[in-house]
Amino acid sequence: MDRKKWYQKKAFMLLIDVLLCVLLVWFDQFTKGLAISRLKGRSAYSLIDGVLELQYLENHGMAFGMLQNQKVFILFVGVIFMLVLLFFLLKMPESGKFRVIHVLMVFIISGGLGNMLDRMRLDYVVDFISFVLINYPIFNVADIYVVCATIGLFIMFLFVLKEKDLEFLNFKQNRYREM
């Protein structure tokens, strides 16, 4: 594939990635806004009695409440992680099974950005979904993006991708080659 076509294809795919990311972050922020306006200061709202409820929580840490009140460190790690994911997105081929990986990575980036926005604006992350049946930590839509997409990537790496498929990460290869 010639350089011009490669860049056009890459630019188009990245535009789709950005648009999907904007949509996902908007939805996450919208649901958190609803949680703030409808749940904050109120008791939990049961959706499925004894199983699922909506309960407002201000999370000053990260996953499972770790690193409480470590905003700067959490943001720093988040930015580094986002840069690594963006690097992979830029290097990744746009064809076949890699389209699925592209989408999964956009979901992870969107979830990270949604929670980073909360942390920067509010100094905490708004969580509001609670599985009371298994006493699981309260979470939000961004967390769902990250967890589901990470599981999807894990499955792709275990069962779909072969070592040869990851050659695009080799710095010595010709990146304009059709994959």
Report, as residue numbers or ranges, the catalytic residues: 127, 143
CA of residue 6 relative to chain centroid, distance: 26
**Is 150 strand, coil or helix?**
helix
Separation of alpha carbons 9 and 175, rounded Å:
13
Separation of alpha carbons 87 and 81, rounded Å:
10
**Is 155 strand, coil or helix?**
helix
User: DSSP character for 42?
Assistant: S
Separation of alpha carbons 49 and 123, rounded Å:
32
Q: Which amino acid is at 162?
A: K
Q: Where are the beta strands (DSSP E) in the chain?
A: 45-48, 52-59, 125-131
Q: Are 148 and 110 in contact (CB under 8 A)?
A: no
**Is 159 strand, coil or helix?**
helix
